[in-house]
Each structure stands twice: as C-alpha cells, then as structure tokens.
Amino acid sequence: MSMTLSAYERIVGPSAITQLYRLGKRLKGRRIVHVNSTREGGGVAEILDWMVPLMCEVGLNASWEVIRGTEEFFEVTKNIHNGLQGRPVDISHRDWKIFQDVNEANMDRLRPILKSADIVVVHDPQPAFLLPLCEGRKGKWIWRGHIDISRPFRPVWKVLRTMLEKYDGSIFSMCEFAQSLPHTQFIVTPSIDPLSPKNRDLEPAECETVRSRFGLDPDRPLLVQISRFDRFKDPVGVIQAYRLVRKVLPIQLVLAGGSATDDPEGKAVLEDVLEAAGDDPDVHVLDLPPTAHETINALQRLADIILQKSTREGFGLTVTEGMWKGKPVIGGDTGGIRLQVVNHYTGFLVNTPEGAAHRIRYLLHHRERIGEMGKDAREFVRENFLLTRHLREYLTLILALRGDVTARILEV
C-alpha cells in the first residue's frame, strides 16, 4: 500500500514535501500515463508502484498501464534486453515480428488512453514500439531506459533506435547510458521508497523470525546479495568470492532472488547457481516470490555486508536499499553502482570475485568500518536516492516539456 507524501516528511523534512506540492499545483489535472511490461517484480514496477499514486496526490491525473504479452514475446524481449546490455544475441526477423505484433495488440487496447494523454512515459524496450503505432497522438512521449545500454550489441540497438528516435525525449539513469538520439536526453537517477515493505523499519523480532526461518547462524557474519537470478548480477561470482573468504573466516552467504514475469531466463540461471552452491549448508540460495518484500528487508538488515557484484547494472536499486539499512556495499564497478558506492566511504567497488573477497575480509577484520560506512551510506541515500527527489525530477521534466526544455532558466 502506498503512503501519502506527509508520511515522508519526518524522513526528508517539510520543505522537500512542500516543494512537491508546489510543483504539482502547476501541473494540476495533467494526464500522464506510464507504460511498462510487468506489474510485479523488478525495479521498474517498484518505482511505478509508488510514483503513480504520489503523482496523483500532488495533482496530476496519472495512471499505469502494463502491456500484455505471450511467453514467446517475453523471450524475445529478454533477448533484446540482453543485447542492449551488450551480450551478442540472435534476434531473427520473426522475433522482431512477434515484438511488433504484441505491441500492436496492446496498442489496440490502450489507444484511447495513450492517444489522449498529455505525457506518456514508456519504460524500457518492451513497449517501445507503441509510439510508432499511435497516430494522431496528442501529448509528448518520453522513453525511459532503466538498463545499462552504454555498450549495446549493435544489431539490436540499430533496430530499437528506429523506434526510439521518434520519441520527444528520453531519460537515462546515468549519462554513460545515453546514446546518440535526435532528441533531448535527460538524466534522472532512480530511487527507493523508504516506507515500502522492502525498506520500512522492522522490529528486531521480525528480523529474527526470518533468521530462524532460513536457519541462519546469529554468531557468524552474513553476506547477502539480493537480485534477480540474472547472469549480469554474477551470482556465481559471488559464490566464488564467498569460497575465497570461507577458507579463512566462518561466514554465511544468502543469495536471494526474486523473479519477474518478463524474465524467462531466471530459471536457468537459478539452476546454475544451485549447482555452484552445491551442498554447502552455509550458502543459502532463496528463490523468493515477488511479494516477499519484508523477507528481503529483514535479510538486508541481518546482513553484515551487502553484495551486488553485477557485471552490468542499470542502476542497482538493491544497492540503494542496502545502504538505506545502514550497510556497507561491495558492488561491481559498473553502471549505477558506481554512482552509489563511494570507495572507502559507503563501500567498495570491485571487478572480480578476488576483489570482492579481499574487501569482505577487510571489512570483517575492521568491524568499526562497517558501522561508519553504513552510517555514511544511509545519509547518502537520504540526500540523493529517495523517492521525493525522484518525483521532483519527473515533475520538473513534465513542467519543462510545456516550454523550451533547452532553456537555461525556465520560469513556470
């Protein structure tokens, strides 16, 4: 259940909340539609889950539409996703036809809503083909890329680009992800909801229940990586790092992954992870349902160190979540993790399982640094990566789209 803005006042202060209402007042009644491909699972759904109600609360007429697709469609879009993140993939003409057909079917259903909207924000590649199908559209369309497309597999990018160039603008999480496109490319970093079930404060007893449920030893250090079972998250690399440390320290590892309806590859990756974990009783591979928010929250709070050893990452909201819980993060030196993990302040950036193992050992031998870094990490998130800042940037963008988005100063 989403909160009202006033609930966030004690976290971010009253002025930040007042500012949102003031921005919203200038956009009263504007019709904004977000479109993505899943209602549950993954960072995009989590963002929209709070953003849409809060946009409504400040005065906009906001809604969220989810495209419907076949299993075949999601296999194709997973390949597109992988290709955009740089993996060579084979996407045939038939695959692109499936992609277009599903977008067409969704357009038939969504046409009245999308055609009349003032602003349409299309999230990620799955619904990207909707725009070329929306003749006579009234509003401005923005494509929001959440993934790391800094070095895409060119054949995939070349096709997607033909769709994206028709948009009025695009949003990327980091400037490194922006591509050559004939429209303005905005930079908006994502955020977390500090009051959501995944991030709200928990009673110690709630955490202990989760500890017992999974048989975790309270007397030994716990490393936790929360992420989808996806090769780019390098769960096998995390197990390798754990094994290097386990030789000298009695640690435990939790690899907890959710799954999303638009990710058919997750099962295969999970099997690989289970194989890599073998019969080690201290490696806990947990396949959690998308609704297990409190469980994830508790696991992050029980952790001594949070890991996010991705080799590619759009932003890495699990890093933000871990930091919000006052934990240092050892993260892959990639994508949005670099924006969040400030070496030696909020955690460490690493490139290899060996690097991760080295930093795990360093922190476990300097326990005081865990507390210090965790404190810095939490404040860093409070200032930069909470939903109020994120909402403010969207409202600012929508306001700017009414005028000249390239002006230096825009009075509204």
Partner 1 sequence: MTPFAVKDCALLVRMSGLPPAINLRELRERVAACSENVLFHHFCESLLRPAFDHPDYRNDFAVWAKWYLSDRVLAERLGILDPYTVKSLEELRAITLDIFDERLSEVVAIPSAAPGDEFYFLEATTVTFDTGERVNSPKELGAAIRKMTNGSIFFHFLEARRRIPVGMDDFSAWLKGEEKKNAKYIRALGSIDFYFHSLSNLKEEIIAALAKVERKR
State in angstroms the smallest separation of the CB of 371 from partner 1. Answer: 18
Stretch that binds partner 1, among 21-29, 83-91, 98-106, 135-143 (CB under 8 A): 21-29
Identify the three-state secondary structure at position 350. Answer: strand
State in angstroms the smallest separation of the CB of 297 from partner 1. Answer: 23
| The token pair that represents 267 in the structure block | 């099962």
| Number of residues this chain uses to bind partner 1 (CB under 8 A) | 43
Instruction: Provide CB contacts within 8 A for 7, sequence distance 6+.
Output: 195
Stretch that binds partner 1, among 58-66, 137-145, 354-362, 394-402 (CB under 8 A): 394-402
11 makes contact with partner 1 (CB under 8 A): no
Q: 289-292, long-range: CB within 8 Å, 24+ apart, which pairs? A: 289/258, 289/259, 290/40, 290/41, 290/258, 290/259, 290/260, 291/40, 292/258
23 makes contact with partner 1 (CB under 8 A): yes
- With tokens 């905005």, the residue in question is 186
For the CA atoms of 338, 342, 346, 348, the dihedral, rounded to the nearest 10 degrees, stands at 70
Stretch that binds partner 1, among 13-21, 46-54, 76-84, 280-288 (CB under 8 A): 13-21
Q: Is the CB of 236 or the CB of 405 nearer to partner 1? A: 405
Q: Is the CB of 234 or the CB of 282 nearer to partner 1? A: 234
209 makes contact with partner 1 (CB under 8 A): no
Which residues between 33 and 92 bind partner 1 (CB under 8 A)? Answer: none
State in angstroms the smallest separation of the CB of 26 from partner 1. Answer: 6
Instruction: Provide CB contacts within 8 A for 226, sequence distance 6+.
Output: 256, 257, 296, 299, 300, 306, 318, 321, 322
Rounded-to-integer distance, Cα 62 and Cα 367, Å? 46
State in angstroms the smallest separation of the CB of 223 from partner 1. Answer: 24
184 makes contact with partner 1 (CB under 8 A): yes
- With tokens 């357009």, the residue in question is 107
User: How crowded is the C-beta side of 352, counted as CA atoms within 13 Å?
Assistant: 4
- By CB under 8 A, name the one of 63, 311, 352, 384 that touches partner 1: 384
Which residues between 335 and 364 bind partner 1 (CB under 8 A)? Answer: 339, 342, 345-346
State in angstroms the smallest separation of the CB of 50 from partner 1. Answer: 18
How distant, in Å, are the alpha carbons of 70, 94, 108, 158, 287 from that of 259? Answer: 17, 27, 29, 29, 8
Rounded-to-integer distance, Cα 321 and Cα 227, Å? 11
10 makes contact with partner 1 (CB under 8 A): no
400 makes contact with partner 1 (CB under 8 A): yes
Rounded-to-integer distance, Cα 172 and Cα 152, Å? 14
Q: Cβ–Cβ contacts within 10 Å for residue 93, how many?
A: 7
How distant, in Å, are the alpha carbons of 34, 75, 241 from that of 70? Answer: 21, 9, 38
- By CB under 8 A, name the one of 2, 19, 209, 352 that touches partner 1: 19
22 makes contact with partner 1 (CB under 8 A): yes
State in angstroms the smallest separation of the CB of 335 from partner 1. Answer: 10
120 in Cβ contact with 33 (< 8 Å): yes
Give phi and psi for 300, each to the nearest 5. Answer: -65, -35
DSSP 8-state code for residue 386: B
- By CB under 8 A, name the one of 100, 185, 261, 311 that touches partner 1: 185
Q: Is the CB of 185 or the CB of 261 nearer to partner 1? A: 185
Stretch that binds partner 1, among 90-98, 101-109, 187-195, 202-210 (CB under 8 A): 187-195
State in angstroms the smallest separation of the CB of 410 from partner 1. Answer: 5
Q: Is the CB of 299 or the CB of 306 nearer to partner 1? A: 306
167 makes contact with partner 1 (CB under 8 A): no
Query: Which positions touch partner 1 (CB under 8 A)?
Result: 14-16, 18-19, 22-23, 26, 150, 175-176, 178, 184-189, 339, 342, 345-346, 379-380, 383-385, 389, 392-393, 395-397, 399-400, 405-412
